[in-house]
Chains A and B, each alone.
Chain A
Amino acid sequence: MDIGQPKRIIEIEPATLPLPGEIAPDPEAEPAARPAREPEPAVPEHHPS
C-alpha cells in the first residue's frame, strides 16, 4: 500500500482512549442522514378572509 510522501507530524493526546464508542460519530462511515421534515401544524392555520 503506497501512501505517498510524508507531509507533517501530528501529536494526538486524546482525553479518553478511543476504544469503540468513545469518539465522535464518524460521518464517512454512516449513510447520510435524512434532512429533518418540518413538523406539520397540529391545527390548520386560520386565514382571516
Chain B
Amino acid sequence: MKRILSLTAALLVTLCIVGCKTVTAPLPAWAPNAQVAIAGQAIDSAYSTITGYEKDQADCAAQPTLTKCPGVSNPAIHAAVQKMQQAYAIAQPEFKQWQAAIQANPNAVEPANLSAAVSTIQTVLSQWSTLAK
C-alpha cells in the first residue's frame, strides 16, 4: 500500500514536471506568456508538495501507525521538502512581482532570484520522483 501511494505521488509530481517543461497553448489565464506559466506551475507544484508533506507530518504525529509514516520520516524526503520550501519562499513573492511587472511591460525580465529558485524547485521535484519510490 505504501508503495502504491508513493508511486502515485511520484506519478503526479512527474505529471507536474512534464507540465512545467512543456507549457504550450492554451496558457493558464494568469500567465501572459509561456515563461510565466513555467515558473508559475513550478511554484504551484512546490506548494502542493510542501503542504501535502506538512499534512502528512500532522497525520503521522496524531497516528504514527499510518502506512505513509515511514516515508514521511525518511530524512532524504524531509531534506528535499525543506530545500523546496526555502526555494518556494523566494520564488513565490518574486513571481508575484514579476507577474505584475509583465502586465505593464511584456518585456519585463524574469528576476534572477526567481529563475534560480524555480530551477531549484524543478530539480528537487525531479529528485522527489526517485525518493518517493
Chain A partners chain B: no
Q: Which residues of B approach A to under 8 Å, CB–CB?
A: none
